[in-house]
């Protein structure tokens, strides 16, 4: 049964819009856990547009579940992660001009650099995931580099409809089996919402779904604890009915 990782970056977006102290994403992480979140995800970006350094260190000390730190593969982030010691790190591509992460990490064309980077993280007993597009070549290179997990980018699936979405879903399913066969744990995320999550949750070997924007958007109407609980129910119900 897939678990639910809740990304709280968008809580910090509201705070940083005014450069003030509220809303505090640390407090909302507590509500997400009350709603059933199995882990908390935060992306500490180079430009610090939302999550700040103080957030990740307080979260590490206060959350009761697991902390997933999304970050770019830079020397600055490597040093921070070694001090923080999150439960696991997810390496993502990062560009200052993007609104949100666009596409997966190109592990194939950065194999040598990433192999050393991942080795350094694992030396500090940090498990490492690669946020990649659902492509067999990228999956195989992820294994070669030494990643423990992959997170399949579901953004294209989320943006499509009808037959095109079905074809993209099949790519994700096939990619999950390729990864599972070579010993990689499979997560997925990006663009998942209350309407499209169940088909991804129904994939047999899916470990965790990381979801942020749709949960936070729903929370504006019903509160974060309830919005997390509703998403968790969709994932759990679908898993039980398989």
Residues 113-129 pLDDT 10s: 999 999 999 999 999 99
The answer to whether 201 touches 186, Cβ cutoff 8 Å, is no
Q: What is the pTM of this model?
A: 0.94
For residue 112, the enclosing domain spans 3-240
- Residue numbers annotated as active site: 43, 70, 190
pLDDT digits (tens, 9 = 90+) for 187-235: 999 999 999 999 999 999 999 999 999 999 999 999 999 999 999 999 9
Domain with residue 72: its CATH number is 3.20.20.70
Nearest one of 158, 139, 161 to 150, comparing CA atoms: 139
Name the domain count of the chain.
Answer: 1
The answer to whether 239 touches 200, Cβ cutoff 8 Å, is no
């Amino acid at each position: 049964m897939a678990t639910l990782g809740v990304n709280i970056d968008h809580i910090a977006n509201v705070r940083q819009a005014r450069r003030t102290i509220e809303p505090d994403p640390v407090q909302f992480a507590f509500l997400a856990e009350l709603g059933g979140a199995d882990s908390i995800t935060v992306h500490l970006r180079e430009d610090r547009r939302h999550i700040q350094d103080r957030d990740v260190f307080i979260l590490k000390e206060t959350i009761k579940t697991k902390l997933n730190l999304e970050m770019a593969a830079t020397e600055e982030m490597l040093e921070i992660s070694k001090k923080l010691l999150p439960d696991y790190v997810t390496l993502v591509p990062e560009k200052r001009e993007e609104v949100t992460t666009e596409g997966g990490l190109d592990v194939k064309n950065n194999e040598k650099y990433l192999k050393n980077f991942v080795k350094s993280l694992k030396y500090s007993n940090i498990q490492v995931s690669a946020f990649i597009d659902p492509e067999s070549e990228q999956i195989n290179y992820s294994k070669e580099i030494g990643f423990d997990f992959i997170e399949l980018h579901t953004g294209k699936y989320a943006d499509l409809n009808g037959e095109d979405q079905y074809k993209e879903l099949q790519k994700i399913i096939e990619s999950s089996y390729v990864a599972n066969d070579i010993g990689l744990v499979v997560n997925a995320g990006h663009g998942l919402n209350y309407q499209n999550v169940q088909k991804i949750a129904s994939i047999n070997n899916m470990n965790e779904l990381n979801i942020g924007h749709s949960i936070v958007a729903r929370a504006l109407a019903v509160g974060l604890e309830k919005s997390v609980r509703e998403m968790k129910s969709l994932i759990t119900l679908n898993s039980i009915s398989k």
